[in-house]
Structure 1
Amino acid sequence: MMRQYELLERVAAYNPNVDEALLNRAYVYAMTKHGGQKRASGDPYFSHPLEVAAILTQMRLDDATIATALLHDTIEDTDATRAEIDQMFGPKIGKLVEGLTKIGRLAFVSQADKQGENLRKLLLAVAEDVRVLLVKLADRLHNMRTIHWVPVHKRGRIAQETMEVYAPLAGKMGIFWMREELEHLAFHVLHPEEAAFIEGKLADKRAEVGSILTDIETELSERLEASGIKAKVMGREKKPYSIFAKMQRKAINFDHLSDIYGFRILVDTTADCYAALGVVHTKWQSVPGRFKDHISTPKQNGYRSIHTTLVGPRKQRIELQIRSHEMHRLAEYGIAAHAFYKDGKMVRQGELARDSEAYSWLRQTIELLSDVDGGAAEFLEHTKLELFQDRVYCFTPRGKLIALPPGATPIDFAYQVHTDVGNTCTGCRINGHSRPLVTPLQSGDEVEIVCKEGAHPPSAWNALAVTGKARAAIRRANREQDRRKFARLGRQLYEAEVVRRADTDIPSLGVAAERLGHPDTESLAYAIGSSAMSASDALAALGFDAGEAPPSAAPANGVSVKIRGHGEDLPITFSPKHTTIPGDRIVGVLQPGEGVMVYPAGANEALAAVAADPHSWVDVSWDLSESSGTLYKAVVRVVAKNGSGVFADLAGALKASQSDLSELTVVMKTPDYRELNLHIEVRDAAHLSRVIEHLQRLDSVVEAARASH
């Protein structure tokens, strides 16, 4: 276990002004609090926070972060309190330690809920101070380094969480060395046989390659030096997990991989990067489609480098990365490389470069937390979606760059521009041409979103969206839309109940909401509309008699819920077993949480539902005051003579009556006649009558009538 003075020496090596008193207090306090606690390995528990602190010294972090690492488990695993830490180390360190404390005392429905809530708490703390994340990643790294001491039944869950959340989170923050090690350690736990196989293949490959790598390094170095470019050339081998992931992604075996070895060229300036690129492309043939300039277009986490693939000196493919030394430092340490240093000086109190690309991504992810109704598991799902994606770069018509994951559509683009743009999106133009909203976007596309005031996103978009931000916004908009529909239904149900009772003393819905303790009228209306309580129950709670159950037929006074169509203004659904069109006599059954199911009058299903619960009956009627433009399905039974041209006659009659045929079924055929079911689309009962009239006029039609509905 590292000694106290050794930790101080590590920090002093990069920060001569180290606050020794602070680190000494933290060291002694944490060691005392953890006392006789042991890790699964049998080592003193304090060895863990000490190793976490040691990892952070490699990243050259400030004194407060190192102290936080020493203290990070004290509130969670000892009798230490936030107040005590504030008193001894200051409120800033106290807040950092609290941000690292898991939520352990709540009852969660599932492991996903617990995992999601802890991630939510962590990211909220990270949004205020990124050092929380750096300590958490170092904490997870040491836990993974010692996972072989953890009981076998727990290893898989820890490794899966590491692979799905913490490794990609390190990558999003640009800390690539940590991402690679976390992936490596988790890979060996989750896929031990595959890991052993790939490592065996790599060993064979090294023996086969021999001195080729050194020879290529030498040739590249000499060629660059001859061109007056000061460069450092390094060969590198792909990590086992990276190889495994590519084999899975490309569906190829190990022997078909051509990029197991690559080379990195480090130069002094950005200009030298492009000069070096010119040298290698002039000398060796480049592979088409294998060039990426992440200097002019950095990745979302701030990563900058040129990637190219060449047919190299030995006529084999060589992957090259060309970057400056500063770019390399940022590539390895990411947000930690520039969060605490400016002009070679320590930035006190963990000031964060908040304009960095990595932090910009983090802020966008935190926006998902506003969707509190979605729950912790939903937040975890969205965050994983964001963590696992690379980027596609598109542009708005004004030239603003929008970064999206592969497979993203204009729907995702619209929500990335602004939530209101996504919610009112009705169409798009890609590179000046109208395209479907489900069109996958490509890097370089210019996307123009067409919006319409008052529009709202269909629920089906949730399955089409790729980004967590879009999915969260769509779900939130759908929930708000449903809430408005249920509230509108609740108002009508309350009004119908008041009219039915004909009691002038019954209070208005607003007064009722206040008396029943609801925050506003909308809340009580939603409760009634969603069947959390019935209008009758609400009146009973106000002291009015429950009254008789609603009648099982249309009321004499004509009070009913007015509907236009398929849930345009209300949570209305139509029975899938029946065809119902405007003008039919209809009844409604209130289904808890789903709204009103509409049936034809006399339908057995409706009668059975009302028999089970008389208060579920809802008097409904068509609102024919304004056409909604909705088409409804109806079935017409036709008996026609056999002969040529029958189907042409039927099609002509449908066209003349302005109806479309969606399906045709032959029910029966005899030598002289055939019976058909025509599934057509009509506006209302009057339109259906005109269709039947046109069919009956045909000489080939013996009988035409609406099929039983």
Structure 2
Amino acid sequence: MMRQYELVERVQGYDPDADETLLNKAYVYAMRAHGSQIRASGDPYFSHPLEVAAILTNLKLDDATIAAALLHDVIEDTETTRHEIEDLFGPEIASLVDGLTKIKRLDLATKEAAQAENLRKLLVAISKDIRVLLVKLADRLHNMRTIEHMRPDKRVRIAQETMDIYAPLAGRMGMQQMREELEDLSFREINPEAHRTISERLKRLREESGDLLREIEQALSEKLAENDIEAAVYGREKRPYSIWRKMERKQISLGQLSDIFGFRVIVETIDGCYRALGFVHQSWRAVPGRFKDYISNPKQNDYRSIHTTVIGPHRKRVELQIRTREMHEIAERGVAAHAIYKDADGKRAANGAFPLPKESNAYRWLRHLVDILSEGESPKEFLEHTKLELFQDQVFCFTPKGDLIALPRGATPIDFAYAVHTDIGDSCVGCRINGRHAPLITELENGDEVEIVCSKAQTPPAAWEAFAITGKARAAIRRATRMAVRRQYAGLGREILERALERHGHRYSEEEVAAALPRLGLKIQTPEDALALVGRGELASRDVLSAMKVEGEAQGGRRASGGPLRSIGKAMRLPAVLSRRGTEDRRGAIPVRGLNNTLPLKIARDTGAVPGERIVGILTPGEGVTIYPIFARTLKNFDDEPDRWIDLAWDVPENSGQRFPARIKVAIHNEVGALAQVTQVFGENDANIEHLNMEAGGPDFFDLEIVLEVYDVKHLNRIMTELKRKSLVSSVARVTGDSASQS
């Protein structure tokens, strides 16, 4: 275990201005706070925060971060409070430690919910001070290095969480070395057999290759030196997980992998990067399709480098990364490369803090991630959004104005539209890729120029969520879908309330509804909230009228709610307010202008309903209104629930071209050609069969139950009349729900 003076010396080795007193004080306090606590390995618990601090010294972090690392578990695992930490070490360190502390005693139903809430808290803390993330990543790295001491089931769960969340977070912050180690340690637990197989293969390759790595390093160095390019060349073996991921992505076997080794060429200037690339390509043949310029187009985590693959010395495929020393520092340490800010005189800033520069891509991405936290209504959604945002592989596309948009591989124009702006995504109706019209589900490729076509009348379809792969796009689509459904229910609620007021001789006034909200006794903030509840069937219109202090008799001399029922037609029973009106007086009815309107209406499947028929609606809480024809026997099930009855009237213009479903029952003789006679009538009369069910009605008959799509009741009656004339048709009837009404 590292001693106190050794830790201080390590920090002062890269930061001579480090506060020695602060480090000593944090070391002693944490050691005493954890006292006799023991880890699963049997080591003193204090060894863990000490190792976390040691990892952060390798990243050359400031003294406040090192102190926070030493103290990061004292609030969670000891009796220490944030107030004590703030008194002893100041608000800066207390804020860091608190950001790393899990939410305790939180009454959440599932482990997934607890994980989501703790991750939410962590990300919010990270957005305020990125050092919280650096300590958390070091904490997770040390836990993964010692994970063998935990139970097998717990090891797999922690490893999967590391692979899903923390390794990608390290990558998005540009900390490639830490990301690779976290991935590899996780891979060893998640898929031990694959890890073992690849490790053994690498060991054999090492033995077979001998000094090949050193020979290639030397050949590259000599070739660059011959051309007056000062460069350092480093060879490295790829990690097992990196190899596994490549095998999975390219669908190749381990034996087919030829680029196990990678080389980094470190030069002094950007000009030197391109000069080195030119000489490398002149000397060895480049592999087509394996060139990427991340200097011209940096990744979203600020990574910059030139990638190329050549057939190098000994005819081996050689992967090269060419970069400057500054780029290499950022590639390895990521945001930690910003660890110690200096003022104008070159001294460390007084508070030691190092929020990322405003122009940092990693900073912008992190702020964006925190912005979408509120989009997920459930822990599952939140975790999904977070994981979707932690992508690695990217494609770079352009707007028509030349702005660069980085997206995950596999992204579509839908993702592109939302990456530009949420309003662009919500109003998107089409796109042009490289000047040509293309489907919105087209997978984008590097260099594509994407133009989004918008319409103010557009609302994103819920089905888009299946084609979007970014968290931002999916979150926005879900939000727009929820808002569209809410608007539908609010529209229906307004229709219901307007009709109810009309029956009492009043006109609808949003101001009167707003004034009545406090009297409803519910947490309703706006009139639209109340209308949506009415439309969803969760708030009765009579309760709103009562809150609005609307009194008086409904038209016709009786109140709108309840009253005796009487018969209309052959088998129809309606609440009095509906039954008193004949088929002509429909002034208070809600108009039904088709099924593609803005109201949440649907037609009853057991009967169907078509324009020209008298119809009513049954309001089901949370599902909207189901339309029934007045002869539907199913309606008797709602006799005792008058508040659910909604008066409806068709308002579909003739020749609209829209078809509506009607369920009919046809009995045919069991003879050759009977079914053909039925379908011939449908075809000749421009009707469409949506559904057909055929059952034996006896030895001589078959019963057909058909959902037929027709324009209106005249169209339906003409078809039914022609069916009756057919010699092999015995009877035709409308299905009323539990029996048939002969036509």
Same fold judged by TM-score > 0.5? yes
| Aligned residue number for residue 164 of structure 1 | 164
Write the distance in 1 (CA, Å) between the matches of 2:52 and 2:100.
13
Structure-2 change in CA distance of 1:259 and 1:540 (3 Å): same
Contact 1:531 1:593 in 2 (8 A): yes
**8 A Cα contact 1:183 1:241, kept in partner:** yes
SS of residue paired to 2:383 = helix
Q: CA deviation at 1:705?
A: 9.0
| Pair 1:446–1:700, CA change in 2 (3 A) | farther
Distance 1:468 1:691, change over 3 A: farther
CA distance in 1, matches of 2:401, 2:342: 33
1:427 and 1:451 in contact (8 A); partners too: yes
Structure 2 distance, partners of 1:647, 1:377, is 51
Letter in 2 for 1:513: L
Alignment partners' CA distance in 2, 1:550 and 1:92: 73
- Asked if residue 188 in structure 1 is aligned to residue 188 in structure 2, the reply is yes
308-317 or 571-580: which moved more?
Answer: 571-580
- Provide the rounded CA distance (Å) in 1 between the counterparts of 2:535 and 2:690: 36
Query: 2:516 aligned with 1:512, yes or no?
Result: yes
| Segment of structure 1 superposing worse, 597-606 or 250-259 | 597-606
**DSSP 3-state at the match of 2:437:** strand
- 37 and 628 in structure 1: CA distance in 2 versus 1, 3 angstrom threshold: farther
One-letter code of the match for 1:481?
A: A
* Structure 1 residue 583 displacement after superposition: 3.0
**Does the 8 A contact of 1:516 with 1:542 survive in 2?**
no
The residue matched to 1:266 in structure 2 has which SS?
strand
Name 1:548's counterpart in structure 2.
Answer: 562
2:524 aligned with 1:521: no
**Given the alignment of the two structures, is residue 350 of structure 1 paired with residue 354 of structure 2, yes or no?**
yes
Contact kept, 8 Å, 2:168 with 2:392, in 1: the verdict is no
Structure 2: which 5+ runs fail to align? 552-558, 566-572, 696-701, 737-743
Counterparts of 1:50-449 in structure 2, within 5 Å, are 50-341=50-341, 346-347=348-349, 348-371=352-375, 374-449=377-452
Confirm or deny: 8 A CA contact 1:555 1:619 kept in the other structure: no
The structural deviation recorded for 1:598 is 2.2
Determine which of 609, 615, 632 is the counterpart of 1:580: 609
| Residue 599 (1) aligns with residue 602 (2) | no
> Is 1:124–1:366's contact at 8 Å kept on the other side of the alignment?
yes
Alpha carbons of structure 1 residues 584 and 342: separation in structure 2 relative to 1, 3 Å: farther
1:174/1:334 contact within 8 Å kept: yes
**Rounded Cα–Cα distance in structure 1 between residues aligned with 2:693 and 2:61:** 78
Query: Which letter maps to 1:530?
Result: R
1:514-569 C-alpha deviation (Å, 9 max, x unpaired): 21233232222222222333335666899999953795434425433333233632
Q: In the TM superposition, what are the counterparts of 1:523-672 in structure 2 within 5 Å? A: 523-536=529-542, 548=562, 552-553=573-574, 554-557=578-581, 558=586, 559-566=588-595, 568-608=597-637, 610=638, 613=641, 615-624=643-652, 631-632=659-660
Alpha-carbon shift at residue 141 of structure 1 (Å): 0.8
Whether the 8 Å contact between 2:123 and 2:370 is mirrored in structure 1 is yes
Q: What is the Cα deviation at residue 30 of structure 1?
A: 1.9
Alpha-carbon deviations, 1:163-182, whole Å to 9, x = none? 10000110010101111111
Q: Which moved more, 1:493-502 or 1:160-169?
A: 493-502
Query: Identity of paired residues, percent?
Result: 52
Question: CA offset at residue 101 of structure 1?
Answer: 1.3
CA 606–389 in structure 1, closer or farther in 2 if over 3 Å, else same? farther
Alignment deviations for residues 363-422 of structure 1 (CA, whole Å, 9 cap, x no partner): 2211212326x2232111011011134211111111111111112111111111111111
What secondary structure is seen at the aligned counterpart in 2 of 1:56?
A: helix
Q: How many positions carry a matched residue from both structures? A: 697
Deviations 1:213-269, CA, capped at 9 Å, x for gaps? 222222111111111111111221110111122222333221111111122211111
- Give secondary structure in 2 for the equivalent of 1:9: helix
CA deviations 1:596-640 (Å, max 9, x no partner) are 2223333344443x258554333322234799875545689999x
Give secondary structure in 1 for the equivalent of 2:462.
coil
**Pairwise CA distance, 1:58:** 0.6
- Offset, 1:287: 1.1
* 2:699 alignment counterpart: none
Letter of the 2:598 partner, please give it.
Answer: D
Q: Matched residues in 2 for 1:144 and 1:269: separation?
A: 37
Aligned-partner SS, 2:109: coil
Counterpart amino acid of 2:356? L
Question: Aligned-pair distance for 1:135?
Answer: 0.8
- Alignment gaps of 5+ in structure 1: 669-673
CA RMSD of aligned residues (A): 3.8
Between 174-183 and 44-53, report the one with greater CA deviation. Answer: 44-53
Distance across 1 between alignment mates of 2:211 and 2:19: 48
Which of 456, 463, 466 is the matching residue for 2:466?
463
Q: In 2 relative to 1, CA 14–684 (structure 1 residues): closer, same or farther, beyond 3 Å?
A: farther
Corresponding position: 1:481 with 2:487:
no
**Structure 1 CA distance for aligned equivalents of residues 135 and 103 of structure 2:** 17
Q: How far apart, CA to CA, are the structure 2 residues paired with 1:282 and 1:624? A: 74
| Higher mean C-alpha deviation, range 610-619 or range 546-555 | 546-555
**Residues 64, 614 of structure 1: CA spacing in aligned structure 2 closer, same or farther, 3 A cutoff?**
same
Q: Is the 8 A contact 2:606 2:735 kept in 1?
A: no
CA distance change for structure 1 residues 106 and 705 in 2, over 3 Å: closer, same or farther? same
Asked if residue 4 in structure 1 is aligned to residue 4 in structure 2, the reply is yes
**Any idea what SS the aligned residue of 2:309 has?**
strand
CA distance in 2, matches of 1:207, 1:624: 81
Cα distance in 2 for partners of 1:647, 1:299 equals 65
Judge which range, 546-555 or 88-97, deviates more: 546-555
One-letter code aligned to 1:247: M
C-alpha change, 1:455 and 1:35, in structure 2 (3 Å) is same
SS in 2 for 1:598: strand
Partner of 1:28: 28
Preserved contact between residue 309 and residue 319 of structure 2 (Cα < 8 Å): yes
Distance in 2, Cα, partners of 1:707 & 1:460? 35
2:66 aligns to what SS in structure 1? helix
The worse-fitting range, judged by mean Cα deviation, of 565-574 and 674-683 is 674-683
Q: Which amino acid aligns with 2:88?
A: M
Distance 2:520 2:424 in 1: 38
Please list the CA deviations of residues 28-73 of structure 1 after superposition, one character each: whole Å capped at 9, or x if unmatched: 2222222222222222222211111111111111111111111211
Between stretches 591-600 and 456-465, larger displacement belongs to 591-600
Classify the secondary structure of the residue corresponding to 1:322.
Answer: strand
2: distance between equivalents of 1:684 and 1:414? 41
For the structure 1 residues 43 and 541, does the alpha-carbon distance in structure 2 shift closer, same or farther, using more than 3 Å as the test?
Answer: farther
Q: Deviations over 1:329-348 (max 9, x none)?
A: 11101111135346976453
Distance verdict in 2 for CA 1:465–1:662, change over 3 Å: farther
Partners of 1:93 and 1:168 lie apart in 2 by: 26
1:588–1:606 Cα contact (<8 Å) kept: no
Superposition TM-score, scaled by structure 2 size: 0.84
SS at match of 2:310: strand
Please state how far the C-alpha of 1:692 moved relative to its aligned partner. 9.1
Deviation at 1:360, TM superposition (A): 1.6
What is the aligned partner in structure 2 of residue 38 from structure 1?
38
Question: What is the match of residue 671 of structure 1?
Answer: none
Q: 1:454 aligns with which of 444, 448, 457?
A: 457
| Secondary structure of 1:619 counterpart | strand
Aligned counterparts of 1:555 and 1:30: Cα–Cα separation in 2: 79
